[in-house]
A and B are shown apart, each in its own frame.
Chain A
Amino acid sequence: GAGVSQSPSNKVTEKGKDVELRCDPISGHTALYWYRQSLGQGLEFLIYFQGNSAPDKSGLPSDRFSAERTGGSVSTLTIQRTQQEDSAVYLCASSLRHNPDTQYFGPGTRLTVL
């Protein structure tokens, strides 16, 4: 079956531009997560969705970051007015509601802000 997919796989942008990152979770997975991995760091939690609602947005680093999920499926992470410190690999994961800790990750989007 299809796993979690993310697009684009790589994104190079200029400082100050907006970017959108997309995640397609595994069909039937109600929970969706965004993480960020900066160079030499572990994965940093950003936001959690259950269905279309986001009960926990506590990891979003600033108000330049936002995310939405529609139809209980596809999610988009938007970063406005990108800064160089936003450069990282952005990973999306999904899981079943009854087993949330076992998460299935996509390959990530590598974002480079010049």
Chain B
Amino acid sequence: DQQVKQNSPSLSVQEGRISILNCDYTNSMFDYFLWYKKYPAEGPTFLISISSIKDKNEDGRFTVFLNKSAKHLSLHIVPSQPGDSAVYFCAASVNAGGTSYGKLTFGQGTILTVHP
């Protein structure tokens, strides 16, 4: 039972354009969502997060949008750069007002390629 799904295995974007990565979840208990980025032969690194009390969180070129009714979140990267080429994982947790101990449920990942 895949509780967090990233239905696009890959995405190819031109440098300077917008990259939009999507993620869907099924568990309505999830209330905290994160995006991690992974380069080959390295572990994932935290990118950005959002709590379910918000519908948008922005950090520089990265913005995460949350649509709770649709159980959908997306990561926007504007403008995309070749160095953004990596695997992006969506993750979710049951934070429950700060009681989370960090058990993350991850999606399968989307390979983003940004062409110069």
Contacts and interface: CB of A to CB of B under 8 A. Distances in A.
Given A42-B4, A101-B34, A95 B43 contact: no
B25 interface: no
Contacts of A107: 41-43
A108 B34 contact: no
Contact of A45 (B95, B105, B109): B105
A101 B90 CA distance: 12
Interface stretch (A12-20, A48-56, A68-76): A48-56
Contacts of B101: 31, 48, 50, 55-56, 100
Interface residues of A, number: 26
Interface string A42-84: 1111001010000110000000000000000000000000000
Contact of B95 (A31, A33, A101): A101
A10 B103 CA distance: 26
B108 A42 contact: yes
Contacts of A100: 100-102
B89 A95 contact: no
Interface stretch (B44-52, B60-68, B76-84): B44-52
Contacts of A104: 43, 45-46
Contact of B49 (A48, A93, A101, A106): A101
A95 B103 CA distance: 11
A58 to B, nearest CB: 8
